[in-house]
Amino acid sequence: MKAPKKWLKSITLFFVSIMMFQSCVAYQSSSVTLEEAVREQKRTKINTISRVKYYYEQIVFEEGQFYGLKRLNKNMVKIPLDTKEINDVFIQSKSKSAWMTVAAIAIPLIALTILAIDELNNSFNYGGPLLLVGA
């Protein structure tokens, strides 16, 4: 009865880790201007001079003012940006985010496969001499 509980914990951990990494966003390593962030219409991370980080769904420019769009309670809210306080602007890197998602799925899957193979090998080993087939 211990084996199913052990597997249940492993499978639960696997799915939780997949869900957590699905929401991860990777940003480009080089800073861009606010104008470029407006053109790209991607998720954006803004670092301020006081080292505070803000994350927005995208940046828009309306009536001479930059706004960061943030999702609050399923509604998009426009937050005015103080351009004097902004130090760096980073936009989402779709390719990095995709690779992170693939890695987040592949690594736990490989680990579960290794655990499963190890568990199967241990269940067939009854303490006798190791018999290698085909050797």
| Integer Cα distance of 65 and 134 in angstroms | 73
The more confident residue out of 95 and 15 is: 15
Q: Are 49 and 38 found together in one domain?
A: yes
Q: In this predicted model, what pLDDT tens digit does every residue of 95-125 receive, in sequence order?
A: 565 666 666 667 777 777 777 777 766 655 5
Residue with tokens 């290794």: 114
What's the pLDDT band for 49 if we cut at 50, 70, 90?
Answer: very high
Q: Are 85 and 105 found together in one domain?
A: no
The yes-or-no verdict on residue 131 having pLDDT over 60 is no
The encoded tokens of residue 95 equal 């390719």
In a domain, 133, yes or no: no
DSSP annotation of 51: S
Nearest CA-CA partner of 13 in 101, 98, 107: 107
What CATH number has the domain bearing residue 36? 2.30.30
* Number of domains the chain contains: 2
Q: At what angle do helices 94-124 and 2-22 cross, to 10 degrees?
A: 170
Model pTM? 0.57
In a domain, 132, yes or no: no
What letter represents residue 111's amino acid? A
